[in-house]
């Protein structure tokens, strides 16, 4: 990459990767296919890189990225639905605003969950992770843990309740700040 400050490039890539999941969730909330989401993510990334030198580091990179994503998604929607009856532009703006709020809420909940999982004992965390793996049969995880299915299920239920309380406390505490 000629004439690109490596520090600036690294800073951009770090910020982009830390917000990519949030961007995809936001874009998926109003684009019909995953292919469209991927295209919007690519276009958003390109535009963001081109404008990154103008980005104010004292502002929210995620919000800035979602704004760019919003415009890129609107371009894709216009192309997809050129000949069909579609929502007015102001209605899409409202839907996009709601999508951004939802993406923020999900990100806040994900951070709280990560923090609360970190407060559990390693064995408890391992049980929860094992219990929620795709295709997992709870009785097999219980057997591997050396507990009966009923006892293990009750343990998982208690851990879920503890996590929910912790997440709610953490989100409440964050909202006060």
**65 dihedral zone (left: phi>0; alpha: psi -120 to 50; beta):** alpha
Q: 72 is written with which tokens? A: 């890129």
Q: Which helix (H) or strand (E) holds 42?
A: helix 34-51
Q: Are residues 131 and 75 in the same domain?
A: no
Q: Are residues 35 and 77 in the same domain?
A: yes
**Is residue 126 in a domain?**
yes
Q: Are residues 88 and 124 in the same domain?
A: no
Q: 56 is written with which tokens? A: 């104010």
Tell me if 151 sits within 8 A of 142, measured CB to CB: yes
Last residue of a domain, one of 79, 107, 135: 107
Q: How far apart are CA 30 and CA 99, in angstroms?
A: 8
The range of the structural domain enclosing residue 8 comes to: 1-107
Q: Are residues 141 and 177 in the same domain?
A: yes
DSSP 8-state class, residue 61: H
Count how many domains the chain has. 2
Q: How far is CA 56 from CA 16, 69, 149, in A?
A: 15, 18, 54
List the pLDDT tens digit at each of the 177 positions of the chain.
446 677 777 888 889 898 898 899 888 887 888 899 999 999 999 999 999 888 888 888 888 998 899 889 888 887 776 655 556 667 767 777 777 777 778 888 888 998 999 999 999 998 888 888 888 888 888 888 888 989 999 999 999 999 999 999 999 988 876
Q: Are residues 126 and 50 in the same domain?
A: no
Q: Are residues 94 and 124 in the same domain?
A: no
Q: How far apart are CA 119 and CA 103, in angstroms?
A: 25
**Is residue 38 in a domain?**
yes
Q: Are residues 91 and 161 in the same domain?
A: no
**Is residue 103 in a domain?**
yes
Q: Are residues 58 and 141 in the same domain?
A: no
Closest of 124, 128, 113 to residue 174, by C-alpha? 113
Q: How far is CA 154 from CA 97, 128, 130, 149, in A?
A: 40, 12, 15, 9
Last residue of a domain, one of 107, 134, 151: 107
Q: How far apart are CA 103 and CA 89, in angstroms?
A: 21
Q: Are residues 36 and 1 in the same domain?
A: yes
């Amino acid at each position: 990459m000629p004439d690109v400050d490596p520090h600036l490039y690294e800073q951009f890539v770090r910020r982009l990767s830390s917000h990519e999941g949030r961007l995809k969730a936001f874009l998926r909330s109003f684009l019909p296919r995953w292919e469209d989401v991927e295209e919007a993510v690519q276009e958003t990334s390109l535009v963001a890189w081109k404008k990154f030198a103008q980005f104010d580091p004292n502002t929210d990179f995620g919000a800035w990225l979602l704004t760019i994503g919003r415009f890129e998604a609107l371009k894709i929607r216009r192309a997809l639905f050129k000949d069909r009856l579609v929502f007015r532009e102001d209605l899409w703006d409202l839907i996009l605003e709601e999508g951004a709020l939802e993406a923020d809420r999900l990100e806040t909940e994900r951070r709280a969950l990560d923090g609360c999982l970190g407060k559990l004992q390693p064995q408890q965390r391992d049980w929860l992770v094992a219990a929620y793996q795709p295709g997992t049969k709870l009785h097999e995880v219980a057997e591997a843990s050396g507990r009966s299915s009923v006892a293990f299920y009750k343990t998982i239920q208690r851990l879920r309740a503890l996590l929910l309380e912790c997440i709610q406390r953490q989100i409440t505490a964050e909202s006060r700040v």
